[in-house]
Amino acid sequence: MIRAIVGTGTLLNSNGKPAANLVVNLQLQTLKGGWKTIAQSRTTQAGSFKLRMDGSELKNLNVMPHFRLAGGRGEVLAENPLIEVGRTTLIVDFGKTVRGGQANPLRDRLAKSERESQTLKAEKDVLMQRFLDAKQTTKALEKNRDELAAQIAQKDVNLIDLKAQLEKTEMPQSGPMDDVATQEISRLKLQLLSSEIALRDHKAREDTLNSRFNGLTSERDNLKAELDELRGAEAAAPQIGTLATTIANSLRGMEAEGVELADARITLKGYLADGGNRFKPFDAAELSRVDSKAASEISFGVRPKSSASDSGGRAMPDVVGLTPASAARILRPLGRRVEVIEVPGKPVGAIITQNPAAGGDLPPETIIRLMVAIGPQKES
């Protein structure tokens, strides 16, 4: 159970210096009321901030929560933070946020992809935690049910004994009953009535516990089935390095069967799995159950051979986001010279820029240059 929400990060000005003593608000997206401020604080001299709130705000949410960071005037400073789920604490990390800085589409796109991957991993951890909690609650209910069954059995025995005593007391006497006998009969009847009421109450409690037990058992089985399905889907998901090749081979097969392709762009929604090495696309049913804003996207450009320019009938494919090895398999049939240039950037080992651009002409003398990210630039 989440008992606390903690938002952390560092706020910087556009010149890279700390933004000190500024009001920051942690906002939560609710189902009906939109964005709601749940915690407020000020940045320190170093620009860092820490906002803390109890976890009651999450009780009515049935989906993964969405947070953002806003300034004192309501302006949005950061969205899509990294979310880490502990046993009792939900950590919302905005990292280093530049206030009023220039946008860098490539950097923002990579950062968003990393945050989305972390958010989906956190959602998976929440699902696992709910499964474990349901399992523990089921064990506790099983114990309570057994104890209650034992109490009911004992009450049944006591009830039989009381009925026997009452029948024995009400047997015809040889002489008139005195006041003591009459009082004893009344006492036994009252005790018998009380025992019957207590027995009905215990049986009602047993029915309630059985209903809760069956409900939790069903929920546990459903969660386990969802978790098994999720694990199986992740294991079968294609590797990112071969995804473009797989789609290209499918398109070639369609062309071979006589299907004419027009210029288009294929966009897949899903999430990163296996430490970012695999991409699991959502099917229609899965996409209807998740927030599309929390899904990662991978896009591929499609340009049929008939739309290529007069440069030998060849056009430059889109290889941004692939590894050099995967790009080499795609570019090798073009017969052009390829140069790989290492540049600072993320994700490490992926192509972040290409020249010519996707769809560009490829005359025979063209040299294809691929810029591959090698990580952040080291300060001298």
Q: Write the pLDDT tens digit of every residue in 79-96.
A: 889 988 888 888 999 999
**Angle, in degrees to the nearest 10, between helices 324-331 and 240-256:** 20
Is residue 48 within 8 A of residue 10, CB to CB? The reply is yes
Q: Write the pLDDT tens digit of every residue in 144-155.
A: 888 888 888 888
> Is 272 a residue whose pLDDT tops 80?
no
Q: Write the pLDDT tens digit of every residue in 31-75.
A: 777 898 989 999 999 999 999 988 887 776 666 788 999 998 889
Which helix (H) or strand (E) segment holds residue 212: the answer is helix 179-236
Whole-model pTM over 0.85 = no
- Among residues 318, 305, 298, which one has the least CA distance to residue 359? 318
Q: What per-residue confidence (pLDDT) applies to 102? A: 47
Match 């005359």 to its residue by tokens.
363
> Is 287 a residue whose pLDDT tops 70?
no
> Predicted confidence band at 310 (pLDDT cuts at 50, 70, 90)?
very low
> Is 163 a residue whose pLDDT tops 90?
no
78 Cα distance to chain centroid: 20
Count CA within 13 A, CB hemisphere, residue 223: 19
> Is 333 a residue whose pLDDT tops 80?
yes
Token code pair at residue 99: 């206030």
What is residue 99's three-state secondary structure?
strand
Q: What per-residue confidence (pLDDT) applies to 367? A: 93
Residue 319: Cβ-neighbour burial (10 angstroms; 0-12, 13-18, 19+): buried
Q: Write the pLDDT tens digit of every residue in 363-378.
A: 988 999 999 999 887 7
Is residue 100 within 8 A of residue 16, CB to CB? The reply is no
- Among residues 95, 100, 63, which one has the least CA distance to residue 79? 95
Phi-psi region of 9 (alpha: psi -120 to 50; beta: other; left: phi over 0): left
Higher pLDDT, 40 or 229: 40
